[in-house]
Amino acid sequence: MLKKHLALAVLVTLVWGVNFPITKLGLRSIDPFVLTGIRFALAALPLVFFIKRPAVKFGYVAAYGVIFGLGMWGVINYGIQVGVSPGIASLLIQLSVFFTMGWGYLLFKERIRGPQVVGAGLALVGLAGIISTQAGDHALLGVLLIVLSAVAWSVGNVIIKQSGVKEIFAFMVWASLFPPIPLFLMAWWMRGSAPFESLSASLDLAAAGSILFQVYLATHFAYWGWNSLLRLYPVSTVAPLSLLIPVFGITSSILITGEHLSTPNLLCVAVIIAGLAVGLTPQYGPHMSTTPK
């Protein structure tokens, strides 16, 4: 990989990692589903008026938008709010690699290699350890929600593969049209009108900065950069760099939100990262984009 492209990959993973504690700052004053709905509304508007719709069936665009916006990011943000730390969230979401691998095997008859099985096993051991160390029902619920969001992300990867879309940036912009309404309805269903009535008072400088970071860096810039790399290099070359996301996520969470990881949690983190490293060895099987944020 050329140095300029490696630098872009590191910058993208840095943005995606830092996005987790930055999101936490927004969640301190704004409902998680409202915050996510605003993120995707701004990611879509006004760009949809200037960017041509991707040349795929519109059903793929709509399905991906709802799954990615509500099923992944809405659930992640809710999980962070109810108890899971941003650093742990940035790590657990990477389990989508193994869920994507499973879908590739079931739906596309893609071969699963020995290292991938070993990596998945290590990741599951680490996940079980993190679950066992969570104190309180809310923290445990948060972890389970992040795992659920990883499943949603893997389903989104399947949709992208099935659609055969080439214009990834346009696809993301148009797909962002669909999550806001379901997200706002979810906020209303769970808390009534309260999240909307308090929104103007809650939109302080930290919350506004969090939203802008999520829209223009974590969504627009990072997805453009990552998918540009996927067009230039094999998935097996690009995908292992996603291991930097939890490294940046945990480090920035410690610095920005004061997150503290106990020794047992650190050991579990190390086991999961080792599992991801083994599972993402060269010649990685499923040729599906395995990383967002």
Q: Are 87 and 20 in contact (CB under 8 A)?
A: yes
Per-residue pLDDT tens listing for the chain (293 residues): 788 888 998 899 999 999 999 999 999 999 999 999 999 999 999 999 999 999 999 999 999 999 999 999 999 999 999 888 898 898 888 888 778 778 877 887 777 778 878 888 888 888 888 777 766 666 788 889 999 999 998 888 888 878 888 888 899 999 999 999 999 999 999 999 999 998 888 888 999 999 999 999 999 998 888 878 877 776 656 767 777 888 898 889 989 988 887 788 788 888 888 887 887 676 544 444 444 45
Distance, in Å, from the CA atom of 265 to the CA atom of 85, rounded to the nearest integer, reads 11
Distance, in Å, from the CA atom of 128 to the CA atom of 88, rounded to the nearest integer, reads 13
Secondary structure of residue 127 in the 3-state scheme? helix
Q: How far is CA 267 from CA 70, 129, 239, 270, 273, in A?
A: 31, 9, 23, 5, 10
In a 13 Å sphere around the CA of 132, the CA atoms on its Cβ side amount to 9
What are the residue ranges spanned by the domains of the chain?
3-279
- Identify the helix (H) or strand (E) that includes residue 17: helix 3-27
- State yes or no: cis peptide before 115, omega within 30 of 0: no
Within its chain, how far is the Cα of 78 from the centroid? 13
Q: Are 177 and 69 in contact (CB under 8 A)?
A: no
Question: Which residue shows structure tokens 């879509």?
Answer: 44
Q: DSSP readout, 224-250?
A: HHHHHHHHHS-HHHHGGGGGHHHHHHH
Q: CA geometry: angle at 106 spanning 101 and 112, to 5°? A: 45
Distance, in Å, from the CA atom of 5 to the CA atom of 11, rounded to the nearest integer, reads 10
Q: Which of 242, 284, 269, 273 is nearest to 115 (CA)?
A: 284
How many helices (DSSP H) and strands (DSSP E) are in the chain?
17, 0
Q: What is the pTM (predicted TM-score) of this model?
A: 0.85
Distance, in Å, from the CA atom of 85 to the CA atom of 191, rounded to the nearest integer, reads 22
Question: Which residue shows structure tokens 């962070």?
Answer: 80
Tokens of 291: 């990383």
